Amino acid sequence: MHFSSSPVFFFPVCVKSPPPGRRRHRRAPVGVHRLARRQHPQRRCLRPRRQSRLLLPQARRRSSPNFFSFSSIPIKFILFRVFFFCLRSEFTYNPMLWPRDVLRADFLNLSHHFNAQRSIVRVPDLDPKYKISVLASKQDHCLFDLLYRWQEGRLPVDITCVISNHDRPKDNHVRRFLGRHGIPYHYLPTTPGNKREQEILELVQDTDFVVLARYMQIMSESFLKAYGKDIINIHHGLLPSFKGGNPSRQAFNAGVKLIGATSHFVTPELDAGPIIEQMVERVSHRDTLQSFVVKSENLEKQCLAEAIKSYCELRVVPYELKKTVVF
């Protein structure tokens, strides 16, 4: 049995400047110079104007399986930006030796010790699966692929409902699949003036996150704020190029040699959220627009499933505005 933790730590940094009048003659340690040169390769001789002292933890395991102690190691480095540290850990977990509530309290104390911005601890074999809702439009290749992977137990989620702005007859293969497994299907037709966001919000309010499986509607900023949780989207193009509609046609007209699919978090800006996963495939002058579309659809299914799996395994940590750490 394994458990995963994904804390994000921001360590306090104490900045120490060299004494005035000696900056020209004071040389930094060799490691500092190497780091500085990697940061600024265009400058032949770069001497740091500031030196920083960072206290990093060194874990020492004692006799008790639940006890961790930390000592501090001073390390000098050049401070060019705010230092960001994130960590994901996996352990073999025995609930008889380390009860679940004690486990949660231990890691909560650890996150407080380091002033962590965010800390999550999960035991996949004991904790309930993530609850998700899937939104889709007319094309259902991504939707059906997710349903199939869920049925095979390859996605660690529980699907609470499927919402679509495109009607499907009751004998449709998606509707039949949902009926066999007792998953509700909600048809909410949209218009340019009515996105039915309030009704969607009521249906997804109790979920852990939402998946847009080729849902061809832009979610408004008010909806994103009201929902307040992560939304994962699949874009049938290689972002940040070819945003918006018809990315396969855009790529075909541009004469690219690689096409791809991108899974990312949804933000108010169209197709500009932090990227979780990308997959590519080579194309050539022999390919047609139709072959571009077929190859793109295959990439979309794999890319979206991999992004959901990584997210549920706590491998994805967003930071800054448009960046992620993916373990």
Determine the CATH number of domain 130-326.
3.40.50.170
Q: Residues spanned by CATH 3.40.50.170 within the chain?
A: 130-326
Residue 321 token pair: 């505005």
pLDDT of residue 321: 83
pLDDT of residue 91: 81
pLDDT of residue 176: 95
pLDDT of residue 87: 82
Divide the 327 residues of the chain into consecutive groups of 10 and give the mean pLDDT of each group: 43 37 40 29 40 38 38 36 74 87 89 84 89 96 96 95 94 94 96 94 96 94 96 95 92 95 95 96 95 95 96 90 88
Which residues, 6 or more positions from 242, have their beta carbon under 8 angstroms from its beta carbon?
250, 251, 254
pLDDT of residue 111: 86
Which residue's structure tokens are 């199939």? Answer: 148
Q: Which of 101, 106, 271, 287 is catalytic?
A: 271
pLDDT of residue 300: 97
Active site residue 271: yes
pLDDT of residue 83: 66
- What global pTM score does this model have? 0.76
Count of CB atoms situated within 10 Å of the CB of 246? 14
Residue 50 token pair: 């500031």
pLDDT of residue 107: 87
pLDDT of residue 90: 83
